[in-house]
Structure 1
Amino acid sequence: MPLTGHCLCKAVTYSADVDQPALVAYDHCDDCQRQSGSTYSLVAVVPKDKLTINGPVKTWSGKGSSGNAVHRLFCSECGSPIAHDPDAAPEIIALKAGTLDTEIKKTLKPDTEIWTVSKLPFCQEHLAKPFEHMPQ
């Protein structure tokens, strides 16, 4: 079963012809923190040649730590980040896992953390006082 997903407004959809991501990671790099507006970005890495994206995607490119470009794809309608595509690893693309279809993302099991050099010191795996919903 392919991995499928979409942006917030559903103008951008995608499908990766794989059963599972090659890697599911908490990406702590500073750029992912800024793009997600959060402490990290959950990414699902897939082979680029297995991914099909449909809809109005825009790209912003910046320089990664390798010195090569990292292309960040997002919906031009709602701004949802869809993926980042590093020139340093041209065979893969990192989908923003929060955009996967709900039933698929519920089955994800992050297996690593990347760019932990940028991990914020207050990030912990389990916090003492979780809330199911806000406010509670």
Structure 2
Amino acid sequence: MPLSGHCLCKAVTYTVDIDAPLVTGYDHCDDCQRQSGSTYSLVCVVPKALLKVEGPVKKYKGMGSSGNAVYRWFCEECGSPIAHDPDAAPEIIALKGGSLDTEIKKTLKPDVEIWTVGKLPFCQESLAHPFEHMPPS
């Protein structure tokens, strides 16, 4: 069964022809905290070539720690974050876990934490396998 999801207003919908994310984890980088409006962002990494998106997506270009661009996708209508797309890893895209369909979200099993160097002091208990920055390739 493919993964699927949508923004808050359902103007943006997406599907990924894959049964489960390649990686599911907590991203503690400052940019993900700001985009999510929370202490971290739940991300589901999938092959970008398998992602099909419909609707009014806007992309904000920021810089990653690699010095390469990171494009943060969000709904143009309601502002819901959809994904972040790093130029440093062009074959993947990190979907925002909260945008997945409800029944799919219930099956997620986060297994990694990235950018724990940015983890806020009141969130120090490990949620999954921690990496100070990105995990080694």
TM-score, structure 1 as length reference: 0.91
Quote the residue 1:117 is aligned against: 117
d(CA) in 1 for partners of 2:100, 2:21: 11
How much has 1:121 moved relative to structure 2? 1.2
Question: Counterpart amino acid of 1:29?
Answer: C
d(CA) in 2 for partners of 1:61, 1:88: 13
Quote the residue 1:65 is aligned against: 65
Structure having the higher Rg: 1
Please state if 1:76 is matched with 2:89: no
Query: What is the aligned residue count?
Result: 126
d(CA) in 2 for partners of 1:117, 1:88: 19
SS in 2 for 1:109: coil
Question: Counterpart amino acid of 2:60?
Answer: W
How much has 1:125 moved relative to structure 2? 5.3
SS in 1 for 2:18: coil
From the superposition, tell whether residues 125 and 116 of structure 1 become closer, same or farther in structure 2 (CA, over 3 Å): closer
Quote the residue 2:30 is aligned against: 30
Quote the residue 2:89 is aligned against: 89
SS in 2 for 1:94: strand
How much has 1:28 moved relative to structure 2? 0.3
Ranges of 4+ aligned residues in structure 1 off by more than 2 Å: none
Please state if 1:56 is matched with 2:56: yes
Q: State the superposition RMSD in angstroms.
A: 0.9
How much has 1:7 moved relative to structure 2? 0.1
User: Which consecutive unaligned segments of at least 5 residues does structure 1 have?
Assistant: 127-136
Quote the residue 1:132 is aligned against: none
User: Which consecutive unaligned segments of at least 5 residues does structure 2 have?
Assistant: 128-137
